[in-house]
Structure 1
């Protein structure tokens, strides 16, 4: 907890809003997407999807492949508590929808479906096809029920370990406009997934890394990702790290309050 507090204070010292941004691309992204105050009708779907889960008192057995939980002491967990403590917030879910919409995302990939709140935010844009991978069968089962209930037919949910699915996607030479990584908050795994997914990126792709300030080693992973020669633009929003591969951009890093 002390580490994250220190990281957040450090973030606040470095961060800025739209003022003083010298990149037209990032300025437009911040003003027209990050700070877009429009009340999109798709927000209702995302909110209802999430609220459904917050009312769900069912207990499930969670198989955890990542860095574990700071909240839960047992793998037997109530769905509403997972949604509240481990799921994406409504504020972030709305931003994820706006990013998908603003960047006109056609094909998206998510590592770590969990209960599918972030999945619903991406797939609320019906023009976006999403492949979402989850390692835990019981968590994926809840997500599948929700996806069917809300008729999110543009989501393909796959239950498997990430490595096996990624190998399959890379062999098929799949390209993605958006990749959302929220499944394993460990340095080595994060860097391995990043390297493995690089061939699936094109010039206008965005990769979003969740919980980049989760731990010291996640911050180290984020620093390495920022410095990668293929990454041109990176944005730290504290919760997320966003990277772009736009060859026409000068390499720059931004720290933005959202």
Structure 2
């Protein structure tokens, strides 16, 4: 089922040589492609390896589209880590984006084990991370992981159905600088969460959507978002999509080459 989106992506994707937008050219060449390793990342990846070996069990409360590989509500942590993890490369990309734009108010819609959240919290110690998790047992494990690593930026874990918790938190803050949408891989909730957070987006905000080619529903949601009148620039990296609201930029949608599988 996923061969067609992958083939479409590789056929359409370009590198910096075909870019005529100075903003996207600089972002792509100096932030998206320019991967870096930091000593901080070693501790996060050591924790990932620990999670991949853990036989601890969790009773999963799932408000999203569910797992495609394990529908059981009782799962070992190693199973959750294997099938729901985001790559270290993606975490490093978020780290660079947050540093590049100097973001402070960060929303993480989908905590899971907290590994990607730790990358977000490592980028800017004076940022404030709001991370949302529907499953209480998963949230408790994520909190333990934050304490074990020692998150550099404050992390507030908000537990419960995102349909109920997101509106209240969005209403409580003045603006959202960066938001990562990884909570519910279905069309209607994805669009609804986007429009809720959009009320606090500003000129320099960045929204990142996970798994935009995961299913026909997610591709439809991504198409809706790219065409939204508030959105000016989007970048399809296959595994994630970047969304900008820069009013001085012409409306353009880019598909750029990125080694998302590492």
Bin of the TM-score, shorter chain as denominator length: over 0.9
Residue 236 of structure 1 contacts residue 255 of structure 1 at CA under 8 Å; is this kept in 2? yes
1:186 corresponds to: 186
- For 2:61, the equivalent position in structure 1 comes to 63
Which residue in 2 is equivalent to 1:247? Answer: 247
1:173 deviates by 4.2
Match of 1:71, SS state, is coil
TM-superposed CA distance for 1:256, in Å, is: 1.0
Q: Mean Cα displacement is larger for which, 64-73 or 41-50? A: 41-50
CA displacement 1:42-66 (0-9 Å, x = unmatched):
3223322322212222111111111
Give the stretch that moved more between structures: 177-186 or 96-105. Answer: 96-105
Contact 2:35 2:93 in 1 (8 A): no
Report how far residue 38 of structure 1 moved. 2.9
1:213 matched residue in structure 2? 213
CA separation of 1:143 and 1:173: change in aligned 2, threshold 3 A: closer
Question: SS where residue 138 of structure 1 aligns?
Answer: helix
Q: Distance in 2 between matches of 1:49 and 1:176?
A: 28
Maintained 8 Å contact 2:225/2:231: yes
Partner of 1:10: 8
How big is the shift at 1:77? 0.9
Whole-angstrom distance in 2 between the partners of 1:17 and 1:49: 34
Q: Which residue number in structure 2 is paired with residue 226 of structure 1?
A: 226
The within-5 A match list for 1:58-137 is: 58-125=56-123, 126-137=125-136
Would you say the 8 A contact 1:7–1:213 is kept in 2? Answer: yes
Secondary structure at 1:19 match in 2: helix
Aligned residue in 1 for 2:176: 176
User: Runs of 4 or more off by more than 3 Å in structure 1?
Assistant: none
Which sections of structure 2, spanning at least 5 residues, go unmatched?
A: none
Whole-Å Cα distance in 2 between the matches of residues 226 and 129 of structure 1?
Answer: 27
SS at structure 1 position matched to 2:28: helix
CA apart distance, 1:236: 0.6
Go from structure 1 to structure 2 and tell me whether the alpha carbon gap of 1:96 and 1:170 turns closer, same or farther (over 3 Å shift). closer
Cα distance between partner residues in 2 of 1:107 and 1:80: 31
The question of whether the paired residues in 1 share the 8 Å contact of 2:176 and 2:197 is answered with no
Kindly tell me the number of residue pairs found equivalent between the two proteins. 256
CA distance in 2, matches of 1:52, 1:18: 38
For structure 1, the residue ranges without an aligned partner over 5 or more in a row are none
CA distance in 1: counterparts of 2:43 and 2:127, whole angstroms? 15
> Over aligned residue pairs, what C-alpha RMSD do you find?
1.3
1:122 and 1:128 in contact (8 A); partners too: no
**SS of corresponding position for 2:85:** coil
* Residue deviations 1:43-97 (CA, integer Å, cap 9, x gap): 2233223222122221111111111111113121111121121110112111121
Q: What is the Cα deviation at residue 35 of structure 1?
A: 1.2
